Homo-oligomer: A and B are copies of this chain.
Amino acid sequence: MNPESIFPTGFSAAGVACGLKQSGNPDVALIVSERPCAFAATFTTNVFAAAPVEYDRALLARTHGDGLRAVVINAGNANAVTGEQGMRDAAEMARATESALNLPADSAFVMSTGVIGHPMPMDTVRAGISAAAKAVSPTGFSAATEAIMTTDTVPKTASIALELGGRTVQIAGMAKGSGMIHPNMATMLAVITTDAPLAAADLQTLLRRAVDVSFNRISVDGDTSTNDTVVALANGAAGGENLRGDELAQFAGALENVCVRLAKKIARDGEGATKLVEIRVTGAQSETDAVRAAQTIATSPLSKTALFGNDPNWGRFLAAVGRSGAQVDPARASLWLSAGDVRMQLVGAGQPLPFDAAAMSGALAANTDVTIEVDLGIGAAEAVYWTCDFSYKYVEINAEYHT
């Protein structure tokens, strides 16, 4: 079985076109659970949080993460900076979903992505929700994944199955995101479903940590969206008591694995990207410092254009580390660059080392996966971060994707 085609027991989904996207592509997705789910979510920290984010925050607070049955998502309009009307529209999307699926109140979670500052065309959206409700099926996962794409060039899923105390538990995630990608609590839209039985409070704890080392460790352009949301639903269909102790820890590892794989897919599909760049920082005084150094390389336009140009321009990487605020000993810092089978040390103990620049550049040109390793020479903490390169295509996409 294709590991990405797993869809946990008791969930169904649909993706339909209602006309929000000018392209006519599918733009409304529904994920439905046949039984009530424990759920957890993390949201953008952007002050201009979109209306659905405000709706979901309140929903999570008043339900304490229990009783979720559906997630409705539209692409093409972010319902952000839309004032009071936007808040009414987000609530109406939840009501329309509950009504179309015959669900109780407060059982639908709402996500939106697309342009900012345009009122939601609610007639269109209502029709889309109604059509999606009729189309839900246990095989609708990939249609839903396609419906949430905007500038994404590929749908993004990751799933895993694990044996826990004699039962098989499945986790499946879908995500969208390509531009306005920069971590801040949660990044972009992702839905994680599992048939494991879990207490809502445990799920929130596990999700927060998993998001912290996955979606919060990627950057395409340094811009934090107004709509970032990751939601996890656990419907318990795998059976048995709620996970605890060792089983919970094993589940946490599997959840983290799914989130990291989704996050890397977002970075790889960054707007205009030609490369997935993994940045490994070691020798840091703290994990925070390691993240800070890695993130500064990941958001440095000079570093990202050098990677697009297949240029082993380590001076730009170190200059970024040097302005990051991370503690670093310039006399001990070291740097390695890898692509494919080629791995070269370019800086050792603060000194430039002679290296075959032509061979390194050739390896960069021949591979889509690149790793930058930096040793800060201070301590023992480390972190991994993912980004993409910065190409002509990024400028084209963002200069021509008009409001």
A: which residues have CB within 8 A of B? 45-49, 78, 80-83, 115-118, 179-180, 182, 184, 221-226, 299-302, 305-306, 308-309, 311-316, 318-323, 328, 330, 333, 347, 350-352, 357, 361, 390-392, 394-396, 398-400, 402-403
Contacts and interface: CB of A to CB of B under 8 A. Distances in A.
Given A312-B403, A322-B226, A83 B351 contact: yes
A319 B180 contact: yes
Given A330-B48, A395-B305, A395-B308, A319 B350 contact: no
B315 A116 contact: yes
Given A81-B347, A82-B352, 4 more contacts: A47-B321, A223-B316, A305-B395, A315-B403
A156 to B, nearest CB: 20
Given A46-B319, A48-B330, A319-B48, A394 B305 contact: yes
B305 A399 contact: yes
B398 A306 contact: yes
11 contacts: A46-B319, A48-B318, A81-B315, A116-B319, A223-B319, A223-B320, A224-B319, A224-B322, A225-B319, A301-B398, A309-B398
A165 to B, nearest CB: 43
Contacts of A403: 311-315, 357
A323 B184 contact: yes
B308 A399 contact: yes
Contacts of A351: 83
Contacts of A78: 315
A323 B221 contact: no
Contacts of A221: 300-302
A48 B223 contact: no
B402 A318 contact: no
A402 B323 contact: no
B301 A226 contact: no
Contacts of A352: 81-83, 117-118
Nearest to A333: B48
Nearest to A396: B392
A271 to B, nearest CB: 9
Given A395-B305, A396-B392, A313 B402 contact: yes
Residue among A117, A309, A392 having the largest count of chain B Cβ atoms under 10 Å: A117
B402 A116 contact: no
A211 to B, nearest CB: 17
A179 B115 CA distance: 30
Contact of A309 (B117, B223, B400): B400
Contact of A322 (B47, B311, B314, B390): B47
A216 to B, nearest CB: 13
Contact of A328 (B47, B222, B321, B391): B47
A186 B132 CA distance: 56
Contacts of A400: 309
Contacts of A45: 323
Q: Give the top 7 A-B pairs by smallest Cβ distance, nearest first.
A: A116-B315, A309-B399, A305-B398, A48-B322, A224-B323, A47-B322, A46-B322
Nearest to A319: B226
A158 to B, nearest CB: 26
Nearest to A315: B116
Contacts of A115: 315
A347 B81 CA distance: 9
Given A82-B352, A322-B48, A311 B223 contact: no
